[in-house]
Chain A
């Protein structure tokens, strides 16, 4: 009984096949190193970006809150008053006193 594979002889000589195997192994090794290097570089970049990320922005200051002045009293009587805005942005209540000074 003749088997179909019995007469098969590889057409490529062993020396050429061995050289091809070495070339292919070198190519795969280089590709493997390249992949591993790329992954390591990506991991390093990710860690660097995480460590040196910009700090979060300062929270916005709450909106200025001013007391609502409805009336001003002095010595048990309602006194005229006015609101003044200073250069630094703050406001003051000015009440005209009976003595003529400001409080």
Chain B
């Protein structure tokens, strides 16, 4: 089986299929995780997601779209990590002196703008605008209504347009 071909769920899910699935999605999943949690945590999130998938691999026979299933796992893991990180930052900020403000005149880079996107917006952008998934499929993967996905895409576009139109 080619590494890039989509694997549909079936009764004969063996370990070789998992290897093929992993090889075809490793880089893409890493970029997805990097887009959501940053490069420092991306590898751990990807490893965790693939481990969870491997543990359920024998029961994945009824899953219609394994790729969407896997990205849902990864998305949930990334959101959990972000939530924990936010909690840590919220708690730690109580014991830290306030950081010095950024010097004025600094131009925001795209990475800065990217950080202003919510995790949902980042995931929507990655799957639909970057990977070219169908919006309905992406909405199902991310567990949101198609209308919600459209709203997120609209807000995303507005933020990017504002960034591009900066003086």
A64 in the interface, Cβ–Cβ < 8 Å?
no
Main secondary structure of the interface of B (DSSP, over half): helix
Q: Are B47 and A17 in contact (CB under 8 A)?
A: yes
Given known contacts A10-B43, A14-B22, A25-B55, A5 and B35 CB-to-CB distance under 8 angstroms: yes
Least Cβ distance of B59 to chain A in Å?
13
B contact residues around A18 at 8 Å (CB): 19, 22-23
Q: Are B55 and A9 in contact (CB under 8 A)?
A: no
Q: Are A3 and B110 in contact (CB under 8 A)?
A: yes
What is the CA–CA distance of A17 and B113 in the complex, to the nearest angstrom? 31
A89 in the interface, Cβ–Cβ < 8 Å?
no
Given known contacts A3-B130, A18-B22, A9 and B51 CB-to-CB distance under 8 angstroms: no
Least Cβ distance of A2 to chain B in Å?
7
A6 in the interface, Cβ–Cβ < 8 Å?
yes
Q: Are B47 and A8 in contact (CB under 8 A)?
A: no
Specify which of A10, A14, A20 is in contact with B42 (CB 8 Å cutoff).
Answer: A10
What is the CA–CA distance of A29 and B128 in the complex, to the nearest angstrom? 35
What is the CA–CA distance of A18 and B23 in the complex, to the nearest angstrom? 9
What is the CA–CA distance of A11 and B34 in the complex, to the nearest angstrom? 12
Q: Are B27 and A21 in contact (CB under 8 A)?
A: no
Least Cβ distance of A66 to chain B in Å?
77
What is the CA–CA distance of A28 and B53 in the complex, to the nearest angstrom? 12
A contact residues around B114 at 8 Å (CB): 3-4
Q: Are A14 and B26 in contact (CB under 8 A)?
A: yes
A interface bracket (residues with beta carbon within 8 Å of B): 20 to 34
Q: Are A4 and B55 in contact (CB under 8 A)?
A: no
B30 in the interface, Cβ–Cβ < 8 Å?
yes
A65 in the interface, Cβ–Cβ < 8 Å?
no
Given known contacts A14-B22, A20-B47, A6 and B110 CB-to-CB distance under 8 angstroms: no
What is the CA–CA distance of A3 and B30 in the complex, to the nearest angstrom? 14
30 contacts between A and B (CB under 8 A): A1-B160, A1-B164, A3-B110, A3-B114, A3-B130, A4-B34, A4-B110, A4-B111, A4-B114, A5-B31, A5-B35, A5-B126, A8-B34, A9-B27, A10-B42, A12-B43, A17-B22, A17-B26, A17-B46, A17-B47, A17-B50, A21-B50, A21-B51, A21-B54, A22-B54, A24-B47, A25-B51, A25-B54, A25-B55, A29-B55
Residues of A within 8 A of B (CB): 1-6, 8-12, 14, 17-18, 20-22, 24-25, 28-29
